[in-house]
A = this chain, B = another copy of it.
């Protein structure tokens, strides 16, 4: 799904991929400025009797690194959970289609209707999470008699789940599916409901705002004061070391913020379009239909 390029380690060091660097450019520039001010003002600064020594900054830096490690774990856990939920969507879509084909072996029309509802569900979920309009995809995928009901609902993905349940109840009512098989399929519809609710939870509930705030404040303040602490020891080397340390802290802080909301279209976010495309391709293959072409990453190796 996602093409994973193996660049040589040396070329990767100077790569612009990942794009975090561009986000922290301004703050790194600010740090460079402070470093230069620190170096220039050093003599005047020492006559004033103002000292900032490395020791308290060392303590503070380690403490911030520990808390930043915690924040990165929390953000990364959200990213992994989001990816797992979308993986479950793929898995469950396949399982549902396998079950439907097994239960309705001689009714490909009903299976095709079911497939359309499944595909519409994954695209509608993608649009809901990214705040884009799902109308076009719903019109493209759904049979006409389901379209209005879904398009008029403020909760389109959930409405599609309801439609899947309705389809299933219809099959049972007309005797095509026994209660037992109904239960087996219904169990997987519950799983789709869990995927939907799980994605909504990640999307709607950020990491408590105070965490981001406290860490951003301390990281920025730390990077701003750092040159003044380093300059008495390092003199002309202050900008190099200070920017190096700042890069480490700022980039990880910035990445943690990017991963916290994994459904966006940033470089490190989940490629929801590609996953929806994969679901569509795999379900079409199971129905022996023509496959839509796979999505390809762009020049910067990104998929969205």
Residues of B within 8 A of A197 (CB): 87-88, 90-91, 94
Q: Is A53 among interface residues, defined by CB-CB distance under 8 A?
A: yes
Measured CB to CB, the closest approach of chain B to A202, in angstroms, equals 9
Question: Looking across the interface, which residue of chain B has its beta carbon closest to that of A63?
Answer: B65
**A95 and B268 in contact (CB under 8 A), knowing A9-B216, A101-B165, A201-B87?**
no
The stretch among A118-126, A139-147, A183-191 that forms the contact with chain B is A183-191
**Chain A interface secondary structure, helix, strand, loop or mixed?**
helix
- Number of copies of this chain that the complex holds: 5
**B210 touching A169, Cβ below 8 Å:** no
Asked if B201 contacts A165 (CB within 8 A), the reply is no
Interface readout for A98-121 with B: 1 if CB under 8 Å, 0 if not? 110111010000000000000000
Q: Do A56 and B245 touch (CB < 8 A)?
A: yes
A99 touches B186 (CB 8 A): yes
Which residues, 181 to 211 on A, are CB-close (under 8 Å) to B?
A: 181-184, 186-190, 193-194, 196-198, 200-201, 204-211
Pair B241/A52 contact, Cβ less than 8 Å: yes
CB distance from A243 to the nearest CB of B (A): 11
CA of A9 to CA of B26, assembled, Å: 11
List B contacts of A205 (CB < 8 A).
1-2, 83, 270
Total A residues in contact with B, Cβ cutoff 8 Å = 132
Bound CA–CA A153/B87 (angstroms): 21
Which residue of the partner chain, among B58, B60, B165, B286, contacts A162 with CB atoms under 8 Å? B286
A218→B234 contact, CB < 8 A: no
30 contacts between A and B (CB under 8 A): A2-B204, A17-B209, A18-B208, A18-B209, A18-B210, A18-B213, A18-B214, A53-B54, A53-B234, A55-B58, A56-B58, A56-B233, A56-B241, A59-B62, A60-B61, A60-B244, A62-B65, A62-B66, A76-B211, A83-B201, A83-B205, A91-B196, A92-B193, A95-B189, A95-B190, A154-B281, A155-B282, A181-B182, A209-B301, A225-B240
Measuring CB to CB, which residues of chain A are less than 8 angstroms from any residue of chain B?
A: 1-2, 4, 9, 12-13, 15, 17-20, 27, 49-70, 72-74, 76, 79, 83-84, 87-88, 90-92, 94-95, 98-99, 101-103, 105, 153-155, 158-159, 161-162, 165-166, 168-169, 172-173, 178-184, 186-190, 193-194, 196-198, 200-201, 204-214, 216-218, 220-222, 225, 230, 233-237, 240-241, 244-245, 247-249, 251-252, 255, 258-259, 261, 267-268, 270, 281-282, 285-286, 291, 301
Closest 4 CB pairs of A and B: A91-B197, A18-B210, A102-B169, A63-B65
